[in-house]
């Protein structure tokens, strides 16, 4: 089987030209994809939250806990008497 000779210089030039375009494009795509993930990770650690936001959130959680305790402490309410339907 006979093979044709390959011009190595043209092949390397074509590959380099493609890489010059693809590397910046790939970098932008990775940056846009990773930015929301990094922001979400930083937000979960709580470092990005302000103290005022954290104290407001703490107050809301405490109010919800009190409400749950009040509701769980009450006896089960009875359903009202059924109302007859008139047709």
Looking at residue 86, the DSSP 8-state letter turns out to be -
Provide the token pair at 65: 């806990």
Mean pLDDT, rounded, of the chain: 85
pTM (two decimals): 0.40
How far is residue 51's CA from residue 69's CA, in Å, rounded to a whole number?
27
pLDDT tens-place string over residues 6-26: 899 999 999 999 999 999 999
Q: Tell me how far apart the 2 most distant CA atoms of the chain are, in Å.
A: 97
Q: What percentage of the chain carries pLDDT values higher than 90?
A: 39
């Amino acid at each position: 089987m006979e093979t044709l000779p390959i011009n190595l210089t043209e092949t390397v030039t074509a590959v380099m030209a493609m890489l010059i375009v693809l590397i910046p494009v790939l970098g932008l795509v990775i940056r846009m994809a990773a930015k929301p993930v990094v922001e979400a990770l930083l937000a979960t650690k709580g470092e990005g939250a302000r103290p005022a936001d954290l104290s407001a959130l703490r107050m809301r959680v405490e109010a919800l806990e009190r409400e749950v305790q009040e509701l769980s402490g009450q006896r089960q309410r009875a359903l009202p008497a059924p109302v007859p339907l008139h047709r």
